[in-house]
Amino acid sequence: MKAVVYHGPHDLRYEEVPDPQIRHSQDIIVRVTAAAICGTDLHILHGTLPGMKPGTILGHEFVGVVEQLGPDVTSLQEGDRVLVPTTIACGWCFFCRRGDFSQCDNATPSKTPGWFGGPEQAGAYPGGQAELVRVPFANTGPLVIPDALADEEAVMLTDVFPAGFMAAELAGIRPGDVVVVFGCGPVGLCAQKSARLLGATRVIAVDGIEERLDLARQENQAETIDFRKTDPVQAIRERTGGLGAESCIDAVGAEAVNREGKHQPIQALLWAVEAVRKAGTIAVVGSYGQEAAHFPLVQAFSKNVTWRQGVCNHRTYIPRLIAYVLSGQVDPAFLLTHVLPLDDVLVGYDLFNRRDQGCIKAVLQTAPEELG
C-alpha cells in the first residue's frame, strides 16, 4: 500500500510500505476512505514535536471501512463504516473507565497518551494517511458512522471537533460569559462553536489570517481581532470594560507568531494570561513541548487564574458530537476548504502549511476505484 511516511523535519514522502497485519485479538484493519491533515502534523513537519521516529506513517484523523477483524472483536463487522478517535484507549483500565481515555494505561508503555501517527513516546502507532491502517482496541475506539453522515463530516469528529469541545468544557463556560479563543484554525473554530453551545454570550476570536477571521464571524458569530493590526490584549480589555474575559482558550500551541509575524512559541499563552480577568479560567489544547517552559506562572498565580489543559479524551465526546450533528445543531463540514485525492497528500500539506488558497482544512479521499 501507499502512505505518508516521516523521514525527518521537512521530509515527508508518499511511498510504498508493507500492508498492516492483525497483531492482537482486538485489532481491526481499516481501509481508509478519508483522512485529514491536522495542525499537529505541521508540528511534525517542522520538527517541533520531539521523539518522532523516521519511518512512522503519519495521520491521526481518518475514517474508513472495516476490512478485517481480530478474533475477539465483537462490536464491529466487516464492511462497517467507522470513524476512529485520534487517541488510543483500551477501555478497561482505571482511566478509561472514568472517561479519561487519553490517559489510558495500556495504550503506551510510557505515561504519554497513545495516538496514531505520533512520536515514539506515544507508541509510534502507524497513522491513517494511508490506504490501510491497523486499529488496536477496536471494541473500545472506533464508532460506526451513521448513514446520514458523509465521510467529510465524520472525519471532523475524529479529532478537531472533540478537541474544540473539550477546550470549551475545560474553560468552565457559564451562560453570560465572554470567551476569548486564540486561534481560528480548525480546533479554534470548533472551540468557538462549542463555546456557543455551552452558553457563552460573547465569543471573541483572535487570529492573524483574514480568511479564518471571516469564517469565525460567519459560522460562529464571533467578534474578531486581527492581531496584526490591533494589540489583542488592549482590544479585549476595551471590549470588556477593562475587566478581561471570563475564559481564554489557547487553540494555537507552539506554532504561534507575535504581532511582527515572528515565531514566538508561547505568544498565545502570554496574551491569554493578560487578557483573562482576575479569577478567570485559561484552557489550553494547543500542542507544546519544551518551548512552554518559560510560561509566566507568577502573573497567572497572582491573578488566581484557574489553569486547565490536556490531551483530548476523544472517545468521551464523539457520541455527543454525533448527536449534535444529526440534530442539525452543528455542521462540521464548515471547516472543509479543500478535498484532494490521497495521492495528492503532499500538495495538501503544502497548502495547509502555507495557508495558501484560504486552506483551513484539507481532506484526502481514496479514489472510488480503489475502494473495490
* Mutual angle of helices 232-239 and 267-275, in 10-degree steps: 20
Of 309, 333, 361, at which residue does a domain stop?
A: 309
Q: How far is Cα 305 from Cα 170, in angstroms, rounded to an integer? A: 13
- Asked if residue 347 and residue 278 are part of one domain, the reply reads no
Mean pLDDT of 33-45: 93
CATH code where residue 111 lies: 3.90.180.10
Torsion of CA 99, 24, 59, 269, to 10 degrees: 30
Which of residues 273, 290, 309 is at a domain's end?
309
CA distance 236 to 207: 13
Measuring CA to CA, which residue among 209, 199, 318 is closest to residue 188?
A: 209
Residues 176 and 119 grouped into a single domain: no
Domain ranges, residue 331: 2-158+313-371
Do 85 and 169 sit in the same domain of this protein?
A: no
Sole residue written with cell 507552539: 254
CB atoms within 10 A of CB 151: 21
**Domain containing 297 — which CATH number?**
3.40.50.720
Interatomic CA distance for residues 99 and 290, integer angstroms: 28
Percent of the chain scoring above 90 in pLDDT:
84
Model confidence pLDDT, tens digit, residues 197-231: 999 999 999 999 999 999 999 999 999 999 999 99
Find out whether 315 and 98 touch, Cβ atoms under 8 Å: no
Higher pLDDT among residues 279 and 261, named by residue: 279
Q: Please give the tally of structural domains in the chain.
A: 2
Mean pLDDT of 145-174: 96
Report the pLDDT averaged over residues 19-43: 96
* CB-based burial, 24-39: b 16+ in 10 Å, e otherwise: eebbbbbbbbbbbbbb
| pLDDT higher than 50, residue 372 | no
Is the predicted pLDDT of residue 96 greater than 60, yes or no? Answer: yes
Average pLDDT (132-145) is 97
Mean pLDDT along residues 152-172:
96
Q: Are residues 97 and 237 in the same domain?
A: no
Mean pLDDT for 276-287 is 94
Domain check: are 92 and 167 in the same one? Answer: no
Say if residue 296's pLDDT is above 80. Answer: no
Residue of 112 and 279 predicted with greater confidence: 279
Q: pLDDT digits over 226-259, tens only?
A: 999 999 999 999 999 999 999 999 999 877 888 9
| Same domain, residue pair 154 and 7 | yes
Least confident of 261-275, 277-291, 341-355: 277-291
Asked whether the predicted pLDDT for residue 64 surpasses 70, the reply is yes
Share of the chain above pLDDT 70, in %: 97
Average pLDDT value over all residues in the chain: 93
For residue 168, the model assigns a pLDDT of: 97
| Residue with grid cell 489510558, as numbered in its chain | 104
Clarify whether residues 101 and 169 are in a common domain. Answer: no
- Write a three-state SS string for the chain: CEEEEEEECCEEEEEECCCCCCCCCCCEEEEEEEEECCHHHHHHHHCCCCCCCCCCECCCEEEEEEEEECCCCCCCCCCCEEEECCECCCCCCHHHHCCCHHHCCCCCCCCCCCEECCCHHHCCECCCCECEEEECCCCCCCEECCCCCCHHHHHHHCCHHHHHHHHHHHCCCCCCCEEEEECCCHHHHHHHHHHHHCCCCEEEEEECCHHHHHHHHHHHCCEEEECCCCCHHHHHHHHCCCCCEEEEEECCHHHCECCCCCECCCHHHHHHHHHEEEEEEEEECCCCCHHHHHCCHHHHHHCCCEEEECCCCHHHHHHHHHHHHHCCCCCHHHHCCEEEEHHHHHHHHHHHHHCHHHCCCEEEECCHHHHC
pLDDT above 70 for 293:
no
Q: Is the pLDDT of residue 92 over 90?
A: yes
Predicted confidence at residue 43, as pLDDT, reads: 87
